[in-house]
Amino acid sequence: MPNGDNWQSDVLRDLRGGTPQHQQPVPQQQQQQHQQQSYGPGAPERPGPPAPGPAPAYGHPQQQAYPDPPSHHQQQAYTNAPPHHQHQHQQHQQAPPAQRVVTPDSRPVLDKRLAAAALKPRRGEALGARALRAVRRTVSSSAAREVADSAATAEVLQQAVTTGRQIAVTSIRGGSGKTTVAALLGATYAHYRQDPVLVVEADPALGSLPLRLGAETLRWTTGDLAGLVEPQMSLLDVTGYLVQLPGNAWLLPGSQGQVGAMLDTTGYERVMVSLRRFFGVTVVDCETLPAEVARTALSAAQARVLTVPATLEGIASTRAVLEWMRNLPPHVLASTVVVLTEVAPHPGVDLGRATRELTEAGVTVTVLPYDRHLASGGTIRTDLLARATRQAATRLAADVFQLSQKQR
Protein backbone atom coordinates (compact mmCIF):
# COMPACT_ATOMS: atom_id res chain seq x y z
CA MET A 1 0.00 0.00 0.00
CA PRO A 2 1.54 3.34 -0.98
CA ASN A 3 2.42 5.98 1.52
CA GLY A 4 -0.39 8.56 1.60
CA ASP A 5 1.71 11.52 2.73
CA ASN A 6 4.29 11.22 -0.05
CA TRP A 7 1.90 11.16 -2.98
CA GLN A 8 -0.25 13.93 -1.53
CA SER A 9 2.82 16.16 -1.27
CA ASP A 10 3.73 15.35 -4.88
CA VAL A 11 0.23 16.17 -6.08
CA LEU A 12 0.17 19.45 -4.16
CA ARG A 13 3.53 20.39 -5.68
CA ASP A 14 2.22 19.59 -9.15
CA LEU A 15 -0.99 21.59 -8.62
CA ARG A 16 0.94 24.61 -7.38
CA GLY A 17 3.53 24.44 -10.14
CA GLY A 18 6.36 23.71 -7.69
CA THR A 19 9.70 22.11 -8.51
CA PRO A 20 10.00 18.39 -7.69
CA GLN A 21 12.49 17.59 -5.00
CA HIS A 22 14.59 15.38 -7.23
CA GLN A 23 15.53 18.22 -9.62
CA GLN A 24 18.67 20.26 -9.14
CA PRO A 25 18.27 23.74 -7.61
CA VAL A 26 18.01 26.57 -10.16
CA PRO A 27 20.51 29.47 -9.89
CA GLN A 28 19.01 32.56 -8.30
CA GLN A 29 19.29 34.73 -11.44
CA GLN A 30 17.66 32.08 -13.60
CA GLN A 31 15.03 31.44 -10.95
CA GLN A 32 14.10 35.15 -10.87
CA GLN A 33 13.82 35.14 -14.66
CA HIS A 34 11.61 32.05 -14.49
CA GLN A 35 9.34 33.63 -11.87
CA GLN A 36 8.70 36.54 -14.18
CA GLN A 37 7.42 34.08 -16.79
CA SER A 38 5.38 31.76 -14.58
CA TYR A 39 2.63 31.96 -12.08
CA GLY A 40 3.74 29.52 -9.38
CA PRO A 41 3.78 30.25 -5.64
CA GLY A 42 5.65 33.47 -4.86
CA ALA A 43 5.40 34.81 -8.42
CA PRO A 44 3.89 38.19 -9.34
CA GLU A 45 0.14 38.29 -9.57
CA ARG A 46 -1.29 36.91 -12.77
CA PRO A 47 -3.10 39.45 -14.94
CA GLY A 48 -6.84 39.02 -15.05
CA PRO A 49 -9.14 37.93 -12.23
CA PRO A 50 -7.52 38.21 -8.78
CA ALA A 51 -6.49 35.00 -7.09
CA PRO A 52 -8.75 33.87 -4.23
CA GLY A 53 -7.71 34.30 -0.63
CA PRO A 54 -6.40 31.52 1.55
CA ALA A 55 -8.49 28.44 2.07
CA PRO A 56 -11.00 28.74 4.92
CA ALA A 57 -9.75 27.25 8.15
CA TYR A 58 -11.86 24.66 9.87
CA GLY A 59 -12.95 25.75 13.29
CA HIS A 60 -16.03 25.30 15.38
CA PRO A 61 -18.95 24.42 13.12
CA GLN A 62 -20.66 27.72 13.90
CA GLN A 63 -17.51 29.71 13.20
CA GLN A 64 -17.01 28.64 9.59
CA ALA A 65 -16.10 31.24 6.99
CA TYR A 66 -17.35 29.32 3.98
CA PRO A 67 -19.25 31.18 1.29
CA ASP A 68 -22.88 30.24 1.00
CA PRO A 69 -23.61 27.37 -1.41
CA PRO A 70 -24.79 28.63 -4.81
CA SER A 71 -28.49 28.92 -5.39
CA HIS A 72 -30.16 26.50 -7.77
CA HIS A 73 -30.16 29.07 -10.59
CA GLN A 74 -26.52 30.00 -9.99
CA GLN A 75 -25.40 26.39 -9.95
CA GLN A 76 -27.45 25.52 -13.04
CA ALA A 77 -25.99 28.45 -14.95
CA TYR A 78 -22.50 27.58 -13.84
CA THR A 79 -22.91 23.89 -14.67
CA ASN A 80 -24.32 24.51 -18.13
CA ALA A 81 -21.49 26.85 -19.07
CA PRO A 82 -18.16 25.49 -20.32
CA PRO A 83 -15.53 25.55 -17.54
CA HIS A 84 -13.39 28.66 -17.63
CA HIS A 85 -10.71 27.56 -15.21
CA GLN A 86 -8.43 26.01 -17.79
CA HIS A 87 -5.41 28.30 -17.26
CA GLN A 88 -1.99 26.87 -18.06
CA HIS A 89 1.34 28.02 -16.64
CA GLN A 90 3.56 29.80 -19.16
CA GLN A 91 6.79 27.95 -19.87
CA HIS A 92 10.16 29.02 -21.36
CA GLN A 93 9.03 27.46 -24.62
CA GLN A 94 5.69 28.22 -26.21
CA ALA A 95 3.04 25.87 -24.81
CA PRO A 96 0.75 23.97 -27.18
CA PRO A 97 -2.74 25.43 -27.60
CA ALA A 98 -5.15 24.42 -24.85
CA GLN A 99 -7.74 21.86 -25.75
CA ARG A 100 -11.33 22.88 -25.29
CA VAL A 101 -13.13 20.93 -22.60
CA VAL A 102 -16.42 19.49 -23.78
CA THR A 103 -19.21 19.77 -21.24
CA PRO A 104 -20.85 16.35 -20.84
CA ASP A 105 -24.58 16.02 -21.22
CA SER A 106 -26.68 15.62 -18.12
CA ARG A 107 -28.02 12.09 -17.72
CA PRO A 108 -30.78 10.81 -15.43
CA VAL A 109 -29.69 8.49 -12.64
CA LEU A 110 -32.65 6.23 -13.31
CA ASP A 111 -34.68 5.90 -16.49
CA LYS A 112 -38.29 7.03 -16.02
CA ARG A 113 -39.63 3.70 -17.24
CA LEU A 114 -37.52 1.85 -14.70
CA ALA A 115 -38.45 4.28 -11.95
CA ALA A 116 -42.12 3.57 -12.63
CA ALA A 117 -41.51 -0.09 -11.78
CA ALA A 118 -40.38 0.73 -8.24
CA LEU A 119 -42.80 -0.08 -5.43
CA LYS A 120 -43.61 2.18 -2.52
CA PRO A 121 -40.66 2.32 -0.09
CA ARG A 122 -41.04 0.06 2.93
CA ARG A 123 -40.40 1.00 6.49
CA GLY A 124 -37.38 -0.54 8.11
CA GLU A 125 -39.42 -2.41 10.71
CA ALA A 126 -42.96 -3.75 10.77
CA LEU A 127 -45.84 -1.93 12.45
CA GLY A 128 -46.08 -4.48 15.26
CA ALA A 129 -42.38 -4.10 16.10
CA ARG A 130 -42.69 -0.30 16.17
CA ALA A 131 -45.72 -0.44 18.47
CA LEU A 132 -44.05 -2.89 20.85
CA ARG A 133 -40.95 -0.72 21.03
CA ALA A 134 -43.04 2.36 21.78
CA VAL A 135 -44.78 0.59 24.66
CA ARG A 136 -41.53 -0.63 26.14
CA ARG A 137 -40.01 2.82 25.91
CA THR A 138 -43.04 4.31 27.69
CA VAL A 139 -42.94 1.98 30.69
CA SER A 140 -39.15 1.83 31.02
CA SER A 141 -36.77 4.38 32.50
CA SER A 142 -34.33 4.32 29.60
CA ALA A 143 -35.65 7.41 27.82
CA ALA A 144 -33.40 9.81 29.74
CA ARG A 145 -30.39 7.60 29.12
CA GLU A 146 -31.14 7.48 25.40
CA VAL A 147 -31.33 11.28 25.26
CA ALA A 148 -28.00 11.58 27.06
CA ASP A 149 -26.37 9.06 24.72
CA SER A 150 -27.71 10.88 21.67
CA ALA A 151 -26.39 14.20 22.94
CA ALA A 152 -22.94 12.71 23.56
CA THR A 153 -22.85 11.20 20.07
CA ALA A 154 -23.94 14.47 18.49
CA GLU A 155 -21.16 16.29 20.33
CA VAL A 156 -18.59 13.91 18.84
CA LEU A 157 -19.95 14.29 15.32
CA GLN A 158 -19.89 18.09 15.57
CA GLN A 159 -16.25 18.38 16.63
CA ALA A 160 -14.22 20.91 14.69
CA VAL A 161 -11.46 19.76 12.35
CA THR A 162 -8.24 21.51 11.39
CA THR A 163 -7.99 19.78 8.01
CA GLY A 164 -10.59 17.85 6.07
CA ARG A 165 -11.09 14.27 7.24
CA GLN A 166 -11.21 11.59 4.54
CA ILE A 167 -12.98 8.32 5.33
CA ALA A 168 -12.63 5.43 2.87
CA VAL A 169 -15.29 2.71 2.70
CA THR A 170 -14.38 -0.53 0.96
CA SER A 171 -14.99 -4.27 1.06
CA ILE A 172 -13.43 -7.52 -0.06
CA ARG A 173 -16.44 -8.79 -2.01
CA GLY A 174 -19.64 -7.53 -3.56
CA GLY A 175 -22.98 -7.61 -1.79
CA SER A 176 -21.56 -6.55 1.58
CA GLY A 177 -23.43 -3.24 1.79
CA LYS A 178 -20.39 -1.06 1.00
CA THR A 179 -22.29 1.61 -0.92
CA THR A 180 -25.15 1.53 1.59
CA VAL A 181 -22.76 2.16 4.47
CA ALA A 182 -21.05 5.00 2.56
CA ALA A 183 -24.44 6.61 1.88
CA LEU A 184 -25.48 6.28 5.53
CA LEU A 185 -22.22 7.86 6.70
CA GLY A 186 -22.56 10.76 4.27
CA ALA A 187 -26.16 11.41 5.32
CA THR A 188 -25.25 11.25 9.02
CA TYR A 189 -22.36 13.71 8.75
CA ALA A 190 -24.47 16.07 6.66
CA HIS A 191 -27.20 15.97 9.32
CA TYR A 192 -24.96 16.74 12.28
CA ARG A 193 -22.22 18.96 10.86
CA GLN A 194 -22.35 22.62 9.81
CA ASP A 195 -19.38 22.54 7.41
CA PRO A 196 -19.71 21.09 3.89
CA VAL A 197 -19.65 17.29 3.52
CA LEU A 198 -18.57 15.52 0.33
CA VAL A 199 -19.39 11.97 -0.79
CA VAL A 200 -17.10 10.69 -3.55
CA GLU A 201 -17.78 7.65 -5.71
CA ALA A 202 -14.41 6.10 -6.51
CA ASP A 203 -16.06 2.97 -7.91
CA PRO A 204 -16.98 3.79 -11.53
CA ALA A 205 -18.13 0.26 -12.36
CA LEU A 206 -21.86 1.08 -12.54
CA GLY A 207 -21.93 2.16 -8.91
CA SER A 208 -25.26 2.76 -7.18
CA LEU A 209 -24.20 5.56 -4.82
CA PRO A 210 -26.07 8.37 -6.68
CA LEU A 211 -29.29 6.34 -6.59
CA ARG A 212 -28.89 5.52 -2.89
CA LEU A 213 -28.35 9.20 -2.11
CA GLY A 214 -31.36 10.35 -4.11
CA ALA A 215 -29.56 12.15 -6.95
CA GLU A 216 -31.74 12.69 -10.02
CA THR A 217 -29.25 13.64 -12.74
CA LEU A 218 -25.49 13.36 -13.26
CA ARG A 219 -23.10 15.38 -15.36
CA TRP A 220 -19.48 15.62 -14.15
CA THR A 221 -17.63 12.62 -12.75
CA THR A 222 -14.52 12.08 -10.66
CA GLY A 223 -12.49 11.41 -13.81
CA ASP A 224 -13.78 14.60 -15.45
CA LEU A 225 -12.95 16.76 -12.46
CA ALA A 226 -9.40 15.39 -12.31
CA GLY A 227 -8.60 17.26 -15.52
CA LEU A 228 -10.35 20.48 -14.48
CA VAL A 229 -9.54 21.16 -10.84
CA GLU A 230 -7.00 23.90 -10.10
CA PRO A 231 -5.67 25.43 -6.86
CA GLN A 232 -7.22 28.86 -7.42
CA MET A 233 -10.74 27.47 -7.53
CA SER A 234 -13.16 28.59 -4.83
CA LEU A 235 -15.83 26.52 -3.14
CA LEU A 236 -18.43 28.02 -5.47
CA ASP A 237 -16.35 26.99 -8.49
CA VAL A 238 -15.98 23.44 -7.21
CA THR A 239 -19.62 22.90 -6.29
CA GLY A 240 -20.60 23.82 -9.83
CA TYR A 241 -19.25 20.41 -10.84
CA LEU A 242 -20.95 18.51 -7.97
CA VAL A 243 -24.44 17.22 -7.28
CA GLN A 244 -26.12 18.96 -4.36
CA LEU A 245 -27.71 16.69 -1.77
CA PRO A 246 -30.06 17.48 1.13
CA GLY A 247 -28.36 19.54 3.81
CA ASN A 248 -24.89 20.90 3.23
CA ALA A 249 -23.75 17.76 1.38
CA TRP A 250 -22.41 17.23 -2.13
CA LEU A 251 -21.86 14.21 -4.37
CA LEU A 252 -19.09 13.56 -6.90
CA PRO A 253 -20.20 10.53 -8.99
CA GLY A 254 -17.80 7.98 -10.44
CA SER A 255 -19.68 7.50 -13.71
CA GLN A 256 -22.88 8.37 -15.51
CA GLY A 257 -24.17 4.84 -15.30
CA GLN A 258 -22.33 3.79 -18.43
CA VAL A 259 -20.12 0.75 -18.94
CA GLY A 260 -16.45 1.54 -19.48
CA ALA A 261 -15.97 4.50 -17.13
CA MET A 262 -12.39 4.64 -15.87
CA LEU A 263 -10.68 6.18 -12.87
CA ASP A 264 -6.94 5.83 -12.32
CA THR A 265 -4.93 6.57 -9.21
CA THR A 266 -3.44 9.77 -10.66
CA GLY A 267 -6.88 11.27 -11.26
CA TYR A 268 -8.13 10.18 -7.86
CA GLU A 269 -5.11 11.65 -6.08
CA ARG A 270 -5.46 14.98 -7.88
CA VAL A 271 -9.14 15.32 -7.03
CA MET A 272 -8.82 14.33 -3.37
CA VAL A 273 -5.86 16.58 -2.64
CA SER A 274 -7.52 19.54 -4.35
CA LEU A 275 -10.91 19.21 -2.66
CA ARG A 276 -9.94 18.34 0.89
CA ARG A 277 -9.61 21.98 1.96
CA PHE A 278 -13.25 22.74 1.15
CA PHE A 279 -14.99 19.91 3.04
CA GLY A 280 -14.84 19.06 6.72
CA VAL A 281 -15.57 15.37 6.05
CA THR A 282 -15.23 13.41 2.81
CA VAL A 283 -16.66 9.90 2.54
CA VAL A 284 -15.22 7.81 -0.31
CA ASP A 285 -17.08 4.82 -1.71
CA CYS A 286 -14.12 2.79 -3.01
CA GLU A 287 -13.80 -0.21 -5.26
CA THR A 288 -13.50 -3.59 -3.61
CA LEU A 289 -10.05 -4.70 -2.55
CA PRO A 290 -7.45 -5.28 -3.90
CA ALA A 291 -8.16 -2.69 -6.64
CA GLU A 292 -5.41 -0.09 -7.00
CA VAL A 293 -7.62 2.96 -6.42
CA ALA A 294 -9.04 1.32 -3.29
CA ARG A 295 -5.57 0.71 -1.90
CA THR A 296 -4.60 4.32 -2.64
CA ALA A 297 -7.76 5.59 -0.93
CA LEU A 298 -7.10 3.47 2.15
CA SER A 299 -3.53 4.71 2.43
CA ALA A 300 -4.52 8.39 2.23
CA ALA A 301 -7.62 8.32 4.44
CA GLN A 302 -7.59 9.20 8.12
CA ALA A 303 -10.07 6.39 8.85
CA ARG A 304 -11.21 3.27 7.05
CA VAL A 305 -14.41 1.22 7.00
CA LEU A 306 -14.41 -2.40 5.83
CA THR A 307 -17.89 -3.77 5.19
CA VAL A 308 -18.45 -7.49 5.63
CA PRO A 309 -21.58 -9.59 5.07
CA ALA A 310 -22.60 -11.22 8.35
CA THR A 311 -22.04 -14.71 6.99
CA LEU A 312 -19.54 -17.41 7.83
CA GLU A 313 -17.75 -16.91 4.51
CA GLY A 314 -17.56 -13.15 4.93
CA ILE A 315 -16.18 -13.33 8.45
CA ALA A 316 -13.56 -15.92 7.48
CA SER A 317 -12.38 -13.81 4.54
CA THR A 318 -12.24 -10.70 6.71
CA ARG A 319 -10.07 -12.43 9.28
CA ALA A 320 -7.57 -13.24 6.53
CA VAL A 321 -7.60 -9.61 5.30
CA LEU A 322 -7.00 -8.31 8.82
CA GLU A 323 -4.02 -10.64 9.17
CA TRP A 324 -2.63 -9.18 5.94
CA MET A 325 -3.18 -5.65 7.26
CA ARG A 326 -0.91 -6.42 10.22
CA ASN A 327 2.03 -6.00 7.81
CA LEU A 328 0.97 -2.41 7.07
CA PRO A 329 1.84 0.61 9.23
CA PRO A 330 0.18 0.21 12.66
CA HIS A 331 -2.10 3.24 12.27
CA VAL A 332 -3.88 1.63 9.30
CA LEU A 333 -5.27 -1.25 11.35
CA ALA A 334 -5.90 0.93 14.41
CA SER A 335 -8.03 3.36 12.39
CA THR A 336 -10.14 0.67 10.69
CA VAL A 337 -13.73 -0.17 11.58
CA VAL A 338 -15.25 -3.46 10.42
CA VAL A 339 -19.00 -3.33 9.79
CA LEU A 340 -20.89 -6.62 9.88
CA THR A 341 -23.97 -6.06 7.72
CA GLU A 342 -26.95 -8.33 8.22
CA VAL A 343 -28.16 -9.10 4.70
CA ALA A 344 -30.97 -11.38 5.97
CA PRO A 345 -33.35 -11.19 8.95
CA HIS A 346 -31.76 -14.17 10.65
CA PRO A 347 -28.01 -14.52 10.04
CA GLY A 348 -26.51 -17.97 10.29
CA VAL A 349 -23.69 -16.90 12.63
CA ASP A 350 -23.36 -15.82 16.24
CA LEU A 351 -22.71 -12.10 15.74
CA GLY A 352 -21.51 -11.61 19.31
CA ARG A 353 -18.85 -14.27 18.98
CA ALA A 354 -17.89 -13.10 15.49
CA THR A 355 -17.45 -9.57 16.83
CA ARG A 356 -15.13 -10.77 19.59
CA GLU A 357 -13.06 -12.82 17.14
CA LEU A 358 -12.53 -9.88 14.78
CA THR A 359 -11.89 -7.41 17.61
CA GLU A 360 -8.91 -9.51 18.70
CA ALA A 361 -7.26 -8.57 15.39
CA GLY A 362 -7.01 -4.96 16.60
CA VAL A 363 -9.96 -3.26 14.88
CA THR A 364 -13.26 -1.77 15.99
CA VAL A 365 -16.26 -3.91 15.02
CA THR A 366 -19.89 -2.82 14.76
CA VAL A 367 -23.06 -4.48 13.47
CA LEU A 368 -25.50 -2.91 11.02
CA PRO A 369 -28.77 -4.79 11.65
CA TYR A 370 -31.09 -6.03 8.95
CA ASP A 371 -33.44 -3.32 7.74
CA ARG A 372 -36.30 -3.89 5.33
CA HIS A 373 -35.95 -0.40 3.88
CA LEU A 374 -32.25 -0.83 3.12
CA ALA A 375 -32.78 -4.33 1.76
CA SER A 376 -35.36 -3.16 -0.77
CA GLY A 377 -32.81 -0.92 -2.54
CA GLY A 378 -33.42 2.47 -4.12
CA THR A 379 -33.04 5.85 -2.44
CA ILE A 380 -32.37 5.73 1.28
CA ARG A 381 -34.89 7.69 3.32
CA THR A 382 -33.63 8.09 6.85
CA ASP A 383 -37.17 8.67 8.16
CA LEU A 384 -38.10 5.13 7.06
CA LEU A 385 -35.13 3.41 8.67
CA ALA A 386 -35.67 1.25 11.72
CA ARG A 387 -34.69 2.88 14.99
CA ALA A 388 -31.94 0.31 15.55
CA THR A 389 -30.51 1.06 12.10
CA ARG A 390 -30.41 4.81 12.71
CA GLN A 391 -28.72 4.29 16.06
CA ALA A 392 -26.15 1.90 14.57
CA ALA A 393 -25.38 4.28 11.69
CA THR A 394 -24.95 7.23 14.07
CA ARG A 395 -22.66 5.28 16.41
CA LEU A 396 -20.63 4.08 13.43
CA ALA A 397 -20.23 7.63 12.12
CA ALA A 398 -19.09 8.81 15.56
CA ASP A 399 -16.60 5.95 16.00
CA VAL A 400 -15.09 6.47 12.56
CA PHE A 401 -14.88 10.23 13.03
CA GLN A 402 -13.10 9.84 16.39
CA LEU A 403 -10.55 7.53 14.78
CA SER A 404 -10.00 10.01 11.97
CA GLN A 405 -9.32 12.79 14.48
CA LYS A 406 -6.41 10.81 15.89
CA GLN A 407 -4.63 10.84 12.52
CA ARG A 408 -2.92 13.82 10.98
Confidence class for position 159, pLDDT limits 50, 70, 90: very high
Q: What is the mean pLDDT of residues 48-72?
A: 41
Q: How many angstroms separate the CA atoms of 274 and 230, rounded?
A: 7
Mean pLDDT of 94-100: 48
Closest CA to 401 of 306, 335, 354, 353: 335
Structural contact between residues 163 and 58, judged by C-beta atoms closer than 8 angstroms: yes
Residue type, 352: G
Lowest-confidence range among 17-26, 246-255, 294-303?
17-26
- Split at pLDDT 50, 70, 90, the class of 257 is low
Mean pLDDT in residue range 372-399: 93
Average pLDDT of the segment spanning 385-391: 93
CA–CA dist 250, 231 (Å, integer): 19
- The rounded percent of the chain whose pLDDT value lies above 90 is 30
* Spatial distance between the Cα atoms of 185 and 154, rounded to a whole number of angstroms: 14
Mean pLDDT of 288-298: 82
Q: List strand residue ranges (DSSP E) for 144-280, in order.
A: 165-171, 197-202, 217-218, 243-245, 249-252
Lowest mean pLDDT: which of 107-116, 198-207, 276-285? 107-116
63 touches 161 (CB < 8 A): no
Mean pLDDT on 311-327: 87
Angle 298-304-307 (CA atoms, 0-180°, nearest 5)? Answer: 110
Q: For the chain, how are helix, strand and coil distributed in percent, rounded to 5?
A: 40, 10, 45
Helix (H, G, I), strand (E, B) or coil at 137: helix
